Amino acid sequence: MNKLFFIIGVFFSINCQILYSQTNELFNEYLSKSFKKIDLSNEFVPYYSNTTFFDDTRKAIAYGQYKYQQFLPETMGYVSTNISIYTNLMYRTHNYIVTIFDYITDDKNVFENNGAYYYFVFYNDTGKIINCYKLLRSTDQQWFKNGVNHASKLFISKDKIMYLLYGPYRVPEMEANCKEVIYEIKDNGSLEKLSERNYKAEKIDQWNW
């Protein structure tokens, strides 16, 4: 009987090792085919910059069965007629892999269901999702009388994120049009807000702040 349990244990252990190896191989394939790997310092650099990162980096996740779906957060859902997901950059910090997606929702009937977002997903080396965060990138009110336009800028460093959201809103102290938030990536793979301030900003031109 003990010999039988030993054989079953060995068989189970071998199968687990094979499955782990296959999953890890698939995860590495997912990273290499989907993201542009970058190295960051302690200095902030703009997330969107043709001269810094972006060339043909942005890759659309296709409709239908996605080969790497197990590595996407459930909250992200599936690509559909009103959801578009694009992979962009990845970098390492605090023994985690940080990936950044562009996540876009579109609904011509409900303004609140429209928006473009920065989607951060933190993984460990085996592909397990540690945390994910979604920050508003922009909204467009062109189809809605009561909608509000928002724009944003994002700056990233090895362990911090600076997020600026532009758009008319009120805070107790003033009527502001820019919110600046700085987050820190912690050792446990989470984002912690370090600071937040509101102020007035001016547009450089019709489209840019």
**Tens of pLDDT along 31-86?**
999 999 999 999 999 997 544 455 556 788 877 778 999 999 999 988 888 899 99
Q: How many domains does the chain have?
A: 1
176 domain residue, yes or no: yes
209 domain residue, yes or no: no
Sign of CA dihedral 187, 189, 193, 195: positive
| Residue 208 within any structural domain of the chain | no
> In this structure, is residue 39 part of a structural domain?
yes
Q: Please report whether residue 205 resides in a domain.
A: no
Q: How long a stretch of residues is the chain?
A: 209
Q: How many CB atoms lie within 10 A of CB 178?
A: 19
Q: Would you place residue 171 in the very low, low, confident or very high pLDDT band (cuts 50, 70, 90)?
A: low
The residue among 194, 71, 59 whose CA lies nearest residue 130 is 71
Question: Whole domain around residue 143: which residue ranges?
Answer: 2-199
Residue 141 within any structural domain of the chain = yes
* 92-120 pLDDT per residue, tens: 999 999 999 999 999 888 888 889 999 99
d(CA 138, CA 29): 31
pTM score: 0.82
Whether 206 maps to a domain, the answer reads no
